[in-house]
Amino acid sequence: MKVHVDGDQQSRNIAQRQQQFQRDEFRTALRTLLMSPLLSPAHEDFSTVRRQAEPLRDWFARETGWTLEAERGGARLYKRPADLSSATRGLPDYDRRRYVLLCLACAVLERAEAQVTLRILGERLLLLAAEPTLTSLGFTFTLAAQHERRELVAVCRTLLELGVLQRVAGDEEAFVHAGGDQADALYDVQRRALSGMLAVVRGPSTWRPEDAPVSLDERLHALVTEHAADSDEARRTAIRHQLARRLLDDPVVYLDSLDTESRAYFANQRGAMALRLCDAVGLVAEQRAEGLALVDDSGALTDVAMPAEGTDAHATLLVAEYLASSCRQQQAHVSPTAQSLAEFTATTDIVDFLREAKGRYGRYWRKSAREPGAEHELAEIAIGRLEKLQLIVRNNNGVCPLPALARFALGDAEIRDASGARDNSSVEPA
């Protein structure tokens, strides 16, 4: 028997499906921009971002104060972190030296023709690297050594990933081994992407040399300081934007990391803020006495996943559980009125722990991690990952757990064979 559906019901069903499609597409575009603020037309979700450009602009302006530009030649979300002092951010494997090279490369490309070769890029970069201001700070760069050519290639590959360069011909790896006389590569320079590299309010070239900020901290703040009207409403909006930026950009926001005014606002509004942000981005709020974290169950909205596969990730999880257990043991012997942050754990203790863990889990780790002394490198990797996730703080005394580390407390891990039988050696495989 056929069920009759009238025209109004069909229209409502179609409208509901269209609305759901729009919501899903908006969320996809939003998540894409949060992970990749600089998009080229080659990105798989670029067309989605373009279609949702107007609602995205409105949402970012309202919730975070970030500006979005989306045009045919590319899209740029001008994200600016709430905490400029954090040393845990940045491109993988980039230190200050490589960032200098990246900035010099962009300066070369800004003056280059529509196409440039890797050899010419390197030669012009050498001229900028020889500026007295840089050399007086101890910075030197030549292309004579293979490791320096590899640094230049690493910068070029970053620019390729960001869409600033587009390879036409050639091979960077051959340039590393043979040098520019025997090997080269040709690139198209994408002006739109290049112009969006700096996410600043004021460009660094707008200062006269005598008026330019001196220290790194002064320069960073001068580049991104935003004008705010002197009113109660403007101050509340600025606080809301700063908190939303931290909730979207940071793994967790701790109450004791906020100033008095921000903490008072956060205590009253964090439920409503979490609801709005989670609904739009597809996150889950974890609210605790110590603060708030917006968690992505898919693990896609992070550049440091935990837990994850691989030796480094497994070692990180083991160290997290070790530190969490040490924290619980310390607190068990302290009266409730005297409890505070856990004591620092020496880095050498973590190294010793991983040396012991290698005997139990080493057969599942990569070969290099089983070598004598490899536990020192593993410890540094694990500590670095935990610090980026804001699960620990580190100083010269060692590392100290932060409250969110408790969510990674584990029981004994185990693996099972194909039949489902338990393997008593129990460990997450690498």
Whether residue 194 contacts residue 106, with contact meaning beta carbons closer than 8 Å, is answered with yes
More confident position, 85 or 221: 221
Q: What is the reported pLDDT for 277? A: 97
CB crowding 411-421: b at 16 or more within 10 Å, else e: eebeeeeeeee
- H or E stretch at 394: strand 392-395
Of 86-90, 336-340, 371-375, 394-398, the least confident:
336-340
Residue with more model confidence, 83 or 126: 126
pLDDT tens digit sequence for 274-289 = 999 999 999 999 988 8
Is residue 182 a contact partner of residue 108, using CB atoms and an 8 Å limit? Answer: no
Sign of CA dihedral 10, 16, 18, 20: negative
C-alpha 276/C-alpha 280 separation (Å) is: 6
Query: What is the SS3 assignment for 78?
Result: strand
Residue 225 banded pLDDT, cuts 50, 70, 90: confident
pLDDT over 90 percentage in the chain: 60
427, pLDDT greater than 60: no
Q: Which of the two residues, 295 and 216, has the higher pLDDT score?
A: 295
State residue 92's pLDDT score: 85
Q: Give residue-wise pLDDT tens across range 230-273.
A: 888 989 999 999 999 999 999 899 999 999 999 999 999 999 99
Name residues whose C-beta falls within 8 Å of residue 289's C-beta, 6 or more positions apart in sequence: none
State the pTM of this model: 0.84
> pLDDT for 137-187, tens place per residue?
899 999 888 999 999 999 999 999 999 999 999 989 989 987 656 789 999
Calculate the alpha carbon distances from 406 to 301, 328, 402 in Å.
21, 9, 8
Quote the pLDDT of residue 407: 75
The mean pLDDT of the chain is 87
Strand partners, 78: 67
pLDDT of 428 > 50? The answer is: no
Least confident of 35-49, 165-179, 368-382, 412-426: 412-426
Is residue 330 scored above 80 in pLDDT? no
* CA distance linking residue 400 with residue 426, whole number of Å: 28
Query: For 36-58, what is the mean pLDDT?
Result: 95
Distances (CA, A) of 266 to 234, 247, 252, 255: 16, 11, 13, 8
**Tens digit of each residue's pLDDT (9 = 90 or more) over 349-370:** 999 999 999 999 999 999 999 9
Q: Which two tokens stand for residue 84?
A: 């400029």
Which sign, positive or negative, has the C-alpha torsion 202, 205, 211, 212?
A: positive
